[in-house]
Amino acid sequence: KGFGSIERGMFESFNNESTKEEIPLKIGGFFTPIHALIGGTTIGISVIANAILFGRVTGNSGMIRSLISKPVVANTFKYSYVGGLLTAGLVLRYKYPHVFCGDALTHAGIPRIAVGTFLMGLGATLGNGCTAGHSVCGVARLSTRSAVFTAVYMAVASLTSHLTKTAEALNIPAVPPELSLPSSDTVLKITAFNAGLVATYALAAFRPQLRTPVVESGLSYLTGLGFGVGLGVAGMSRADKVAAFLDFDKPWFDGSLAFVMASAVGLAAIGFRIVKTRGSCTFFGKQLSIPTAKNIDARLLLAATLFGAGWGYAGYCPGPLAVNLTGDSTGNGAIGFATMLTGMFVGSRIPPGFLSK
């Protein structure tokens, strides 16, 4: 059956089996700004919820790093959040399997996956943040430290992608991306999902009797689920989508991910503005856990460089890799997740004072 224009969209209705069979996993040649805006909105909702309910940033690397730390009760919300990310991968794998690019990763090879994710995990640990903590939450808070980290890793990632030919390794077609719009069915489903999340968070915020440790864990799980689904909808769960974004001067350049950042950062800014207005009073009575460091030192610059090199070489950052762990049926996501954790473990063994002022 022909490959029609509607069937080429990144997300389409899977109400009948024939449509599901006709949509390939390869979507690297499509420009998907609406998907990106919708996904970024879903991500932003999770960031707002964590900020105003619990007074904390949504840092995927820190959440995931708790898996290799000594188990403590204080990290329960982190375990719940990561559980949400992993569940998002399963949901996307069943409903929208084409948001993963296992075939492209197989073409790139295990060495590239392992080296890139190791460097990315190491950099995220040394810099105490990643695309979520620094580029979304940090930039939204107007943090100079996060802005510098973001600028450095973006430049290094783009340079790395160019020098190591990441796009070619991921088998991205050397043609300009075509515009693809989501179906109305998909827009309605994601909108309903987001509305459900907002309603749940609002209910928890304004019902004091719900402010219990169990409810907190459940809400943390939902923020992870929402963030993970947002990553998939936005296209950030695909390494080839990232590589196409980094190659700004190539025919296959895909600027979709800029729309992710625009919507996610915009919403996150609202959340942190609310936190600033309320002062230390979060809805769940938690102490604010917002980073206050402002120093720009050699450690931060090294961390950003390592993170950018890894992201540019493999196309993954912590959150999307966690989603791929359960979503990618080829097993390449599991390999990348394991080597990322190895990088995080190595980074956690480097003294905090190393290269710091």
Instruction: Identify whether the C-beta of residue 224 lies closer than 8 Å to the C-beta of residue 83.
Output: yes
- Residue 143 vs residues 137, 148, 269, 291: alpha-carbon distances, Å: 9, 9, 11, 9
Segment 248-253 mean pLDDT: 94
Predicted confidence (pLDDT) per residue in 149-196, tens digit:
999 999 999 999 999 999 999 999 899 999 988 888 888 999 999 999
Residue-wise pLDDT for 99-133, tens only, equals 999 888 999 999 999 999 999 999 999 999 999 99
In this prediction, residue 279 carries a pLDDT of 67
Over residues 195-250, the pLDDT tens digits come to 999 999 999 888 888 888 899 999 999 999 999 999 999 999 999 999 999 999 99
Q: Are 333 and 100 in contact (CB under 8 A)?
A: yes
* 236 within 8 A of 89, measured Cβ to Cβ: no
pTM comes to 0.89
In the predicted model, is pLDDT for residue 24 greater than 70?
no
Task: Please give the pLDDT value at position 182.
Answer: 86
A 10 A CB-CB count for 168 gives 16
Q: Is the pLDDT of residue 55 over 70?
A: yes
Count the Cβ atoms, other than its own, within 10 Å of residue 287.
Answer: 10
Reading the block at residue 162, the tokens are: 């160019």
The whole-number average pLDDT for the span 298-310 is 96
pLDDT confidence bin for 281, thresholds 50/70/90: low
Residue type for position 173 = P
Residue-by-residue DSSP string for 244-267: HHH-TTSTT--THHHHHHHHHHHH
Band (7; pLDDT cuts 50, 70, 90): very low
pLDDT tier at 28 (50, 70, 90 boundaries)? low
Instruction: Please classify residue 352 by burial: count the beta carbons closer than 10 Å to its beta carbon, then call 0-12 exposed, 13-18 middle and 19+ buried.
Output: exposed
86 band by pLDDT with thresholds 50, 70 and 90: very high
pLDDT at 47: 95
Number of CB atoms found within 10 A of residue 272's CB: 21
Answer whether residue 78 shows pLDDT above 70: yes
pLDDT at 170: 94
Mean pLDDT over 59-69 rounds to: 92
Pick from 139, 138, 176, 137: which is nearest to 255 by CA?
176
From the number of C-beta atoms within 10 Å of its C-beta (0-12, 13-18, 19+), residue 15 rates as exposed
pLDDT tier, 8 (very low <50, low <70, confident <90, very high otherwise): very low
Quote the mean pLDDT of the chain.
88
Q: 23 pLDDT band (50/70/90 cuts)?
A: very low
Residue with tokens 């309320």: 278
